[in-house]
């Protein structure tokens, strides 16, 4: 019986592991499934080798390894037996024709599932290829930098240098959960110089991107039932973090001047929020900037009602028509703002260096919480990034990419007007990494995205920006990242997009 079961389940697969380890694994599985009982005799090494058509030495090696691990025991002049010290296990199904059962795809325990969408319960935007789609040729993303122009050679150079330095062992051991001390010092200088802030390294926590900083801030501030105000349209991943903490979300309309502060004030009079999430500079997704008048009123409301402002400044460095308005955090004298950002948009999305700026006591609590989910960041990467901040390499890269992205914005705006003007409208943004466009009446963003995907172009369908249930939007929108494709690539992508729009052409 045992030999028969092993003949069915044992498959020779030399590409993954030695035969004796494969045999060992099969016998362990038979024991764990209750097919082999404690004290039961196993076939002799000669018999099993002949049955499985493998070398006898392979079976001997498997039995020896099983014995060393305590699964089997050898008895003088008797043979090899399943260890009598193992607990009795009830027999589990061996599957059809004696084959081992397929592992269940469902958990055997209860767990908390996140909502499929922030509010509506509808499916999120498509991430898989449509049926019959061509291989992906281009992707117009949500607004990412072009990693091909990132200072990767310089970063790798510093990484390698530090890895060979006398401090390498120190950087490869556990470090501070706050992040590299040197990076916090250099980052504080950088933010003070470029954002008009007045902070020290004690008010900085290094994170793996902005999303981690948002999550940590949420866990520190929000409890089930607390009210959190968020923009509408807005950023789905931030809203998910608030919802998972049990927050009740109030959606604040966004117009050409940013979040509607009149609406915020009305809601505050009824019940002040615990937190307001805001992207005052190049709001995601609409790209608008919160006006100076609304900034002052919002800061005043925070002081009056005592709520926190979570300021997400994900792409401050790219502004093309005038000097950008400084962050709210630069004028925060009351300690109401938690300021988060990253180098993911300045350098490349894969460079997971983000930060949180807040009063020192908040930073210390956030660091303790971060330690529970991610002991620390990668010190070598953080030290290398600190060196690029110190020697001006990041500043030079931002200056270089600023020129490139401005040219790509001009090129993309021209192509959209010339090629797609009959299908959509948009206002050229003052900065940021994306364009927010509105499809003309009767054009479905979902349908266009599906058509484009079939032709080899991935583009937003506009569904992940609006969250209020039972609200029908009068128009369809699309966010167009213009930085990660060069002029030739963008022209080709827009040609495909135009093909996808042909069913909506005026007749």
The DSSP annotation for 145-174 comes to --GGGS-HHHHHHHHHHHHHSTTHHHHHS-
Per-residue pLDDT for 151 more than 70? Answer: yes
Give tens-digit pLDDT for 396-415.
999 999 999 999 999 999 99
Whose tokens are 């950088």? That residue is 190
- What pLDDT is attached to residue 178? 93
As a whole number of angstroms, the distance between CA 342 and CA 329 comes to: 15
Which two tokens mark 446?
Answer: 């979902």
In this prediction, residues 76-105 reach a mean pLDDT of 73
> Which H, E and C letters describe 357-413, residue by residue?
ECCHHHHHHHHHHHHHHCCCCCHHHHHHHHHHHHCCHHHHHHHHHHHHHHHHHHHHH
Alpha carbons 305 and 206: distance in angstroms, whole number: 29
Q: What domains are there in the chain, each with its CATH number?
A: 2-98 (1.10.10.10), 138-147+397-504 (3.90.1150.10), 149-395 (3.40.640.10)
pLDDT value of position 67: 92
Give the list of residues 6+ apart from residue 497 with CB closer than 8 angstroms, or none. 140, 419, 420, 448, 452, 457, 459
Dig out the tokens for 37 from the structure: 């009982």
Mean pLDDT of 354-379: 91
Cα 192 from Cα 215, distance rounded (Å): 24
Per-residue confidence at 120, pLDDT binned at 50, 70, 90?
Answer: very low
Quote the DSSP letter at residue 475: S
Give the pLDDT confidence score for residue 350 in this predicted structure: 79
In this predicted model, which residue has the larger pLDDT, 125 or 140? Answer: 140
| pTM for this model (two decimals) | 0.81
306-327 average pLDDT score: 86
* Higher-pLDDT residue of 115, 70: 70
Residue 308 β-bridge partners: 275
Partners of 435 in the β-ladder:
480
Mean pLDDT of 280-285: 92
Residue matched to tokens 């091909």: 148
User: Is the separation of the CB atoms in 219 and 245 below 8 Å?
Assistant: yes
Is residue 117 over pLDDT 90? no
Q: Please report the pLDDT score of residue 127 as a whole number.
A: 44
For residue 123, what pLDDT is reported? 38
Q: Which residues pair with 436 in a beta bridge?
A: 479
Residue 75 phi/psi, 5-degree rounding, is -120, 130
Residue 380 has a pLDDT of 83
* Mean pLDDT over each residue of the chain, to the nearest integer: 87
CB 467 within 8 A of CB 119: yes
Would you state the pLDDT for residue 95?
Answer: 52
Q: Any idea which of 182-186, 209-213, 224-228, 373-377 has the lowest mean pLDDT?
A: 373-377
State the pLDDT at residue 102: 61
Measure Cα distances from 201 to 4, 170, 270, 336 in Å: 67, 20, 38, 18
Gap between the terminal Cα atoms of the chain = 75
Give the 3-state secondary structure of residue 66.
helix
DSSP letter, residue 431? B
Residue 112 has pLDDT above 70, yes or no: no
288: pLDDT strictly greater than 80: yes
Confidence band of 478 (pLDDT split at 50, 70, 90): very high
């Amino acid at each position: 019986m045992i030999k028969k079961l092993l003949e069915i389940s044992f498959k020779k697969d030399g590409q993954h592991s030695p035969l004796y380890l494969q045999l060992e694994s099969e016998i362990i599985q038979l024991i764990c499934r209750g097919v082999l009982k404690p004290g039961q005799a196993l076939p002799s090494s000669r018999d099993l080798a002949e049955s499985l058509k493998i070398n006898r030495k392979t079976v001997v090696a498997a039995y020896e390894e099983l014995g060393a691990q305590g699964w089997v025991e050898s008895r003088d002049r008797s043979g090899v037996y399943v260890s009598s010290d193992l607990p009795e296990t009830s027999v589990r199904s061996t599957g059809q024709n004696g084959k081992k059962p397929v592992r269940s795809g469902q958990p055997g325990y209860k767990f908390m599932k996140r909502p499929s969408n922030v509010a509506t319960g509808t499916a999120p935007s498509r991430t898989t290829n449509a049926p019959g789609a061509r291989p992906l040729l281009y992707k117009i993303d949500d607004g990412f930098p072009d990693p091909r122009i990132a200072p990767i050679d310089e970063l790798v150079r510093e990484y390698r240098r530090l890895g060979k330095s006398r401090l390498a062992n120190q950087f490869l051991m556990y470090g501070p959960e706050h992040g590299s001390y040197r990076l916090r010092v250099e980052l504080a200088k950088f933010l003070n110089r470029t954002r008009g802030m007045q902070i020290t390294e004690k008010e900085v926590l290094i994170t793996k991107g902005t999303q981690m900083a948002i999550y940590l801030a949420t866990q520190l501030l929000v409890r089930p039932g607390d009210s959190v105000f968020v923009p509408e349209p807005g950023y789905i991943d931030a809203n998910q973090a608030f919802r998972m903490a049990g927050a009740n979300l109030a959606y604040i309309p966004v117009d050409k001047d940013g979040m509607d502060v009149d609406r915020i004030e009305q809601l505050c009079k009824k019940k002040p929020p615990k937190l307001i999430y805001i992207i005052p500079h190049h709001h995601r997704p609409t790209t608008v900037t919160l006006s100076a008048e609304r900034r002052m009123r919002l800061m005043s409301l925070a002081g009056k009602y005592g709520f926190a402002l979570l300021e997400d400044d994900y792409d401050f460095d790219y502004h093309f028509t005038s000097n950008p308005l400084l962050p709210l955090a630069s004028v925060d004298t009351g300690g109401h703002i938690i300021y988060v950002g990253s180098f993911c948009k300045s350098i490349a999305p894969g460079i997971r260096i983000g930060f949180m700026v807040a009063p020192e006591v908040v930073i210390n609590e956030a660091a303790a919480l971060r330690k529970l989910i991610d002991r620390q960041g990668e010190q070598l990467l953080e030290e290398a990034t600190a060196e690029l901040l110190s020697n001006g390499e990041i500043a030079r890269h931002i200056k270089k990419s600023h020129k490139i992205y401005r040219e790509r914005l001009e090129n993309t705006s021209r192509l959209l007007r010339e090629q797609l003007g009959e299908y959509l409208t948009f206002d050229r943004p003052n900065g940021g990494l994306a364009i927010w466009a509105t499809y003309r009446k009767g054009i479905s963003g979902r349908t266009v995205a599906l058509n484009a995907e079939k032709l080899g172009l991935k583009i937003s369908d506009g569904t992940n920006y609006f969250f209020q249930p039972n609200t029908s939007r009068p128009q369809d929108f699309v966010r167009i990242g213009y930085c990660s494709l060069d002029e030739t690539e963008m022209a080709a992508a827009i040609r495909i997009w135009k093909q996808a729009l042909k069913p909506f052409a005026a007749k």
